[in-house]
Amino acid sequence: MVPVFAWLLAAIAGITYASWVLQFLLNPGLDPVNGYVSELSASDQPYHFLFSAGDFVSGLLTIIVVVAVLRAVRPRGYAMAGWLALFLFGVFSIADSLFAMDCAPNSDTTCALRERAGKVSFAHQFHSVTSVCVVTAGIVSLVALTIASRRHRRWPVIARWSWLLLVVETVTAVATLPLMYFGVLLGVIERVQVAMISVWLFVIAAQLHADRRRAPVPAPTARDRPPGGAAPVRERPESARRPVRGRRHRPDDGAWERTART
């Protein structure tokens, strides 16, 4: 059985991954419409350590949850692929927090020029790779666990809500391409995608909590066994007893008929 702390850690991971909502309180000057969420963690932004810590904690807790689930459930097929993808989501989230950007290119013209000229650090350049891997791993886990839950009918909470999250993620992913061409609303689309991943972590937490509430079948105790540890003897029912010698049973109507003796 999955440990009791797993669902709680998954819920906390969903909360910490949504730390970007604090932007409106801590860093309202950053453009939420066109600026990326990752720009909140840029080294020149206020409270960047807080936003980086949110990604780091979320990734670490997700890894712990996946390890606990794999040790208890040992899934296969799509289920295994989904949990492994969620594990990679945690790994790339930690990498995303460690390889922070130098500045916010969508909100700072000077930063954008530095980025185009290649005068930024390796962490700034590599951050785009980790960000793509985080979102990709989250979507893959969503797709794989959705298929597994509907095939095996094991996780009803995931089967009920994951398809809706999958539709939203697909729509936002498709909408990203034309918005990148026009250069508008990219921040809004990314925030929707990140929010759906946070909700996905909440769905996983709800499923793990629901599994804990299922009462296991109680094992037989010493009271249920007779002295000496032998299994209790059950009396054969009346219908299963051996018929009287010299008679035979007619299976059609259950009547007894005396047979001739030789």
Asked if residue 18 belongs to a domain, the reply is: yes
Asked if residue 256 belongs to a domain, the reply is: no
The number of residues making up the chain comes to 262
Give which of 31, 51, 55, 32 is closest to 42, Cα–Cα. 51
Higher per-residue confidence, 41 vs 260 = 41
Question: What pLDDT does 170 receive?
Answer: 86
Give the strand pairing for 247-249 and 256-258: antiparallel
Q: Report the chain's mean pLDDT, rounded to a whole number.
A: 84
Asked if residue 10 belongs to a domain, the reply is: yes
Residue type, 106: N
Asked if residue 165 belongs to a domain, the reply is: yes
Question: What pLDDT does 232 receive?
Answer: 52
pLDDT digits (tens, 9 = 90+) for 155-191: 889 999 899 999 998 898 888 888 887 878 889 999 9
Higher per-residue confidence, 72 vs 254 = 72
For residue 30, pLDDT over 60 is answered with: yes
For residue 77, pLDDT over 80 is answered with: yes
Question: What pLDDT does 194 receive?
Answer: 93
Question: What pLDDT does 86 receive?
Answer: 97
Question: What pLDDT does 220 receive?
Answer: 53
For residue 80, pLDDT over 90 is answered with: yes
For residue 249, pLDDT over 90 is answered with: no
Rounded mean pLDDT of 215-222? 51
Q: Under a CB-based contact definition with an 8 Å cutoff, are residues 134 and 89 in contact?
A: yes
Asked if residue 245 belongs to a domain, the reply is: no
Residue with tokens 């009803």: 156
Asked if residue 187 belongs to a domain, the reply is: yes
What residues are paired with 178 via a beta bridge? none
Number of domains in the chain: 1
Question: What pLDDT does 83 receive?
Answer: 96
Asked if residue 251 belongs to a domain, the reply is: no
Higher per-residue confidence, 110 vs 228 = 110
Question: What pLDDT does 48 receive?
Answer: 95
Q: Mean pLDDT lowest for which of 62-76, 98-112, 129-143, 238-252?
A: 238-252
Q: How far apart are the first and last CA of the chain?
A: 66
Higher per-residue confidence, 227 vs 52 = 52
Residue with tokens 């930063």: 111
| Domain with 203 in it | 5-109+118-211
For residue 96, pLDDT over 60 is answered with: yes
Q: What is the pTM of this model?
A: 0.79
Cα separation, 212 vs 199, in Å, equals 20
What residues are paired with 248 via a beta bridge? 257
For residue 254, pLDDT over 50 is answered with: no
Provide the pLDDT confidence category of residue 153 given band limits of 50, 70 and 90.
confident
Asked if residue 188 belongs to a domain, the reply is: yes
